Amino acid sequence: AQSVAQPEDQVNVAEGNPLTVKCTYSVSGNPYLFWYVQYPNRGLQFLLKYITGDNLVKGSYGFEAEFNKSQTSFHLKKPSALVSDSALYFCAVWNQGGKLIFGQGTELSVKP
């Protein structure tokens, strides 16, 4: 069965520093991977996806993610964090039944 794991409940970063939010996946077949962000009292917002092609995927708000097949990872990255990036981040995988399977989420806190 397809699944994703986000090993860190929380990530703390200083403003201006690079950030990484980790995600590993388990799928049979080709993985379709996603990152969403959730701000308080708001719905999930799509950041980026990997379907096929380049392993480095660029998305919204300066975020990018690197698909690594050998490590079964899809870590979210940003070169320079902003305080406004503080939110809850979800990694997700599309399963063969046509559903998005979400990780438990990682809370990102960016301090000035």
Partner 1 sequence: GAGVSQSPRYKVAKRGQDVALRCDPISGHVSLFWYQQALGQGPEFLTYFQNEAQLDKSGLPSDRFFAERPEGSVSTLKIQRTQQEDSAVYLCASSSKPRVPSHEQFFGPGTRLTVL
Binding residues for partner 1, how many (CB under 8 A)?
23
Instruction: Verify binding: residue 29, partner 1, rule CB under 8 A.
Output: no
C-alpha separations of 59 from 9, 44, 49, 70, 98 in Å: 22, 15, 8, 22, 23
Given 28, 53, 70, 97, the residue binding partner 1 (CB under 8 A) = 97
Instruction: Verify binding: residue 51, partner 1, rule CB under 8 A.
Output: yes
Closer residue to partner 1, CB minimum distance, 58 or 99: 99
Instruction: Verify binding: residue 101, partner 1, rule CB under 8 A.
Output: yes
Q: Which stretch binds partner 1 (CB under 8 A): 17-25, 34-42, 61-69, 74-82?
A: 34-42
What are residue 31's DSSP bridge partners? none
Closer residue to partner 1, CB minimum distance, 15 or 102: 102
Query: What is the largest distance, in Å, between two alpha-carbon atoms of the chain?
Result: 43
CA dihedral over 17, 105, 72, 99, signed as positive or negative:
negative
Vertex 54: Cα angle to 21 and 22 (nearest 5): 10
Instruction: Verify binding: residue 63, partner 1, rule CB under 8 A.
Output: no
